[in-house]
């Protein structure tokens, strides 16, 4: 097994792992707000969060690339004051991956929170428990299948991501070259054996993750 193959898979795993951890931290508060709070323009916020599910990845990648450019305000700010350039870097790909995978984390968490009867939350409040205590002691333990689904779907989605990554990160070995891009690259070079190795690994990982998700859903039912 050559070193480039291993390092590409490790980089893919690193991106998927970091994206999942970051989204777990962001996803819970966002899902909680969407599940239990009423606020102006809630439908618009929900639509924005769900956009990556219907938007072509290249569209999001294109806008993120523009945002990262020093010719635009966000990229200019980063370049000028923090000396950071996000385009064609691992950090840039990571941020794009977090944005693009947001609905895969938020939607299962939101569904999980909403599936717990309101009286259960209220019972905890009447026992003097704060919203945070209720969240950690009552809500989270009663939505484990939804949490596992959210983690698995986010991780699996990140592993297979192509369009956003190629737009924002390009194909730089050790920096932005992920397994999905390596497959495309190897096919272009007519190196089908290497493409098959990458494909097989992604196929097996995706199959295992989806089997876990469906097993959990079956148990939950």
Partner 1 sequence: MPTILIDIQHEMHTSDGKVMMEVCAEIPCQELLCIFGHSGAGKTTLLRMIAGLTTPHAGTIQVDDEVWFDSTRKINVIPQRRNIGFVFQDYALFPNMSIAEHLSYAQKHPNKAEVDELLCLFELEQLSDRKPHQLSGGQKQRVALARALAYKPSILLLDEPLSALDYEMRLELRAEIIKSHLHLGSTTLMVSHDIPEINELATQVMVLKGGKMVKMDTPNEVFKSHAHYRPLQ
In this structure, what token pair is assigned to residue 17?
A: 């792992």
Instruction: Report residue 208 as tokens.
Output: 């295992």
Contact call for residue 130 and partner 1 (CB under 8 A): yes
User: Is 111 an interacting residue with respect to partner 1 (CB under 8 A)?
Assistant: no
In this complex, which beta carbon is closest to partner 1, that of residue 126 or of residue 188? 126
Q: Does 137 bind partner 1 (CB under 8 A)?
A: yes
Report how far residue 210's alpha carbon sits from residue 196's, in angstroms, rounded to the nearest whole number: 21
With respect to partner 1, which residue has the nearer C-beta, 47 or 120?
A: 120
Is the Cβ of residue 71 or residue 119 nearer to partner 1 in the bound state?
A: 119
- Name the segment binding partner 1 (CB under 8 A); options: 37-45, 116-124, 146-154, 203-211: 116-124
Phi, psi angles (nearest 5°) of residue 174: 80, -10
> Do the beta carbons of residue 176 and residue 93 sit within 8 Å?
yes
Residues 120, 172, 189, 204: which binds partner 1 (CB under 8 A)?
A: 120
| The one among 12, 124, 154, 176 contacting partner 1 by CB under 8 A | 124
Residue 95 or 139 with smaller CB distance to partner 1:
139
CB atoms within 10 A of CB 69: 16
Which range touches partner 1 (CB under 8 A), out of 85-93, 102-110, 129-137, 156-164?
A: 129-137
Long-range contacts of 51-56 (CB under 8 A, 24+ apart): 51/103, 52/99, 52/100, 52/101, 52/102, 52/103, 53/103, 53/104, 56/163
What does the binding site for partner 1 look like in residue numbers (CB under 8 A)?
A: 117, 119-120, 122-130, 137-138, 141-142
């Amino acid at each position: 097994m050559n070193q480039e193959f291993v390092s590409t898979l490790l980089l893919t795993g690193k991106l998927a792992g970091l994206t999942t951890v970051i989204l777990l931290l962001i996803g819970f508060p966002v899902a909680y707000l969407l599940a239990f709070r009423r606020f102006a323009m809630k439908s618009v916020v929900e639509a924005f969060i769900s956009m990556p599910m219907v938007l072509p990845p290249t569209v999001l990648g294109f806008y993120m690339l523009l945002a990262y450019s020093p010719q635009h305000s966000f990229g200019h700010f980063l370049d000028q004051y923090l000396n950071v350039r996000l385009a064609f870097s691992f950090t840039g790909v990571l941020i794009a991956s977090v944005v693009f995978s947001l609905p895969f984390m938020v939607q299962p968490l939101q569904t999980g929170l909403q599936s717990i009867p309101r009286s259960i939350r209220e019972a905890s409040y009447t026992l003097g428990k704060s919203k945070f205590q209720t969240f950690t002691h009552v809500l989270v333990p009663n939505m484990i299948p939804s949490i596992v689904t959210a983690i698995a779907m986010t991780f699996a989605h990140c592993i297979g991501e192509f369009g956003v990554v190629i737009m924002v990160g390009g194909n730089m070995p050790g920096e932005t070259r992920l397994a999905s891009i390596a497959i495309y690259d190897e096919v272009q070079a007519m190196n089908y054996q290497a493409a098959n190795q990458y494909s097989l690994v992604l196929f097996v990982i995706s199959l295992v993750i989806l089997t876990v998700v469906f097993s959990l859903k079956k148990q939950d039912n």
